A = this chain, B = another copy of it.
Amino acid sequence: MASMSTLFTPTPHRTRCIPKSLNAHFAPPFKLAVGGKARHGIVRVRAGLIDPDGGKLVELFVEKSQKDAKKQEAASLPKVRLTKIDLQWVQVLSEGWASPLRGFMKEPQFLQTLHFNSLRLDDGSVVNMSVPIVLAIDDLQKRRVGEFKKVALVDSDGTTVAILSDIEIYKHPKEERIARTWGTTAPGLPYVEEAIRKAGNWLIGGDLEVIEPIKHHDGLDRFRLLPKELREEFTKRNADAVFAFQLRNPVHNGHALLMTDTRGRLLEMGYKNPILLLHPLGGYTKADDVPLSWRVRQHEKVLEDGVLDPETTVVSIFPSPMHYAGPTEVQWHAKARINAGANFYIVGRDPAGMGHPVEKRDLYDADHGKKVLSMAPGLERLNILPFRVAAYDKTQGKMAFFDPLRQQDFLFISGTKMRALARSKENPPDGFMCPGGWKVLIEYYESLAPADNGKVPQTVSL
């Protein structure tokens, strides 16, 4: 079986870029009804990938010939030191996931994001933008910036990462930002505690120019494809539909069933070559989520074990940090994938949700995410594919779509249950997850044990 790395590196068997006319031959434009799954019940099968938001994919890298000059310029500018999460946003912005944003938000963009989850462009069109992508500075940093119109952004080592120009500094209304983004101000929201409450009282927006593309040097950079590279890969593979699956958890066979089934449905709709973008989130996650490196190993095993077809699957890492902001954040997850070329988005129960940090309940209504996503401004072009619920079918000994008429036959294995099993080195029922993938999970929890002193790590629902 092909290893995962072959799934997105240049595909030698299809290196020739398919010309548009040929592409069109494979997927003639026509309309078909899809039973209310897509907005207005109509999906247009068409040649070429979906356009990025704003019409043009933004990349904010300094040109090679300009690098030395920019570094020299940066040396003369006031410096703003980036946190780890700030740096993740620099990566997100510079690679174009937030197209057409060209840098950290200025106040008009920040306010539109908070109030409308969308941005109006100069031509009057609207793009979705639901989470603020902002850079906080404190009073001292603000004083240091003074009258400068540009600043240098540096990492924790002091290395210059980028220049932010045409800057605007404005108040950081933390409480309001938290309330409008999460729909609560309760203490204990992971991203809030990590990146907002301790942050400075000012936000600095401006145009970003990144000197060197952000690399992590963690052995996973080869999985971090830029939106542009993903688009090239989909084009090489002659994809006429791209369906994205955002995840931050191990893949079990219920997920796999869903993805395989989705491909089948797209073929039925008339698409000739739907490609799956399996797109684990790679930025900040909360402490009790399975770390990225283990998740990627687990995903690799799932591909190696043949649960998903490598020929029609691209696995890549989405560099964004996680907000756990439910219906607000799922819009961001979907919008960013448009920029990477996806025109179908699979949405599940309680996307980007978590337990309420204070009360004994889920923070969000489990159905609000898909409802909000299906009505979100700027996402009209994206076809939303709601998750069908999969559970372990005891009569078949495998994961299957839940049938309410014979509900006694089904076993629901929650993320919490799955983690508890892996932690205690028990096996789930046969057919719940491929053995190779399960082994990775067990190894992960074994690796935790010494540091843990036998303590059971906190768990949350999948």
Contact = CB atoms under 8 A, between A and B. Distances in A.
A371 interface: yes
Interface in A307-357: 327-328
Given A176-B184, A180-B179, A375-B108, A365 B171 contact: yes
A368 B124 CA distance: 21
A111 B375 contact: yes
Contact of A179 (B126, B171, B183): B183
A117 interface: yes
A228 interface: no
A436 interface: no
A327 B173 CA distance: 13
Contacts of A380: 124
Contact of A371 (B107, B179, B186, B376): B107
A182 B180 CA distance: 8
A327 B115 contact: yes
B184 A108 contact: no
A449 interface: no
Interface in A185-203: 185-186
The copy count of this chain in the complex is 2
B184 A184 contact: no
A32 B369 CA distance: 44
Nearest to A359: B175
A165 interface: no
Contacts of A377: 116, 118, 120, 126, 377
A208 B376 CA distance: 26
Contacts of A376: 115-116
Contacts of A183: 114, 173, 175-176, 179-180
Most central of A126, A175, A182, A372 by chain B CB within 10 Å: A175
A372 B115 contact: yes
A368 B115 CA distance: 11
A69 to B, nearest CB: 36
A330 to B, nearest CB: 11
Interface in A48-91: none
Nearest to A40: B124
Interface in A347-406: 364-365, 368, 371-372, 375-377, 380
A273 interface: no
Nearest to A173: B365
Nearest to A107: B371
A115 B328 contact: yes
A285 interface: no
A112 interface: yes
A183 to B, nearest CB: 4
Contact of A180 (B111, B126, B175, B180): B180
Nearest to A358: B175
A175 B108 CA distance: 26
Contacts of A328: 115
Contacts of A372: 111, 115
A120 B175 contact: no
Contacts of A368: 111
Interface of A: 107-108, 111-112, 114-118, 120, 124, 126, 130, 171, 173, 175-176, 179-180, 182-186, 327-328, 364-365, 368, 371-372, 375-377, 380
By Cβ-Cβ distance, the 7 closest A-B pairs, closest first, are A176-B183, A179-B179, A179-B183, A185-B185, A180-B183, A115-B372, A115-B117
Given A111-B368, A176-B364, 14 more contacts: A111-B371, A111-B372, A115-B328, A116-B116, A116-B117, A118-B377, A173-B183, A175-B183, A175-B186, A176-B183, A176-B184, A179-B183, A179-B184, A377-B377
26 contacts: A108-B371, A108-B375, A111-B368, A111-B372, A112-B375, A114-B183, A115-B117, A115-B130, A115-B328, A115-B372, A115-B375, A116-B118, A116-B377, A118-B377, A120-B375, A124-B380, A126-B377, A175-B183, A175-B186, A179-B179, A179-B184, A179-B185, A180-B180, A180-B183, A184-B185, A185-B186
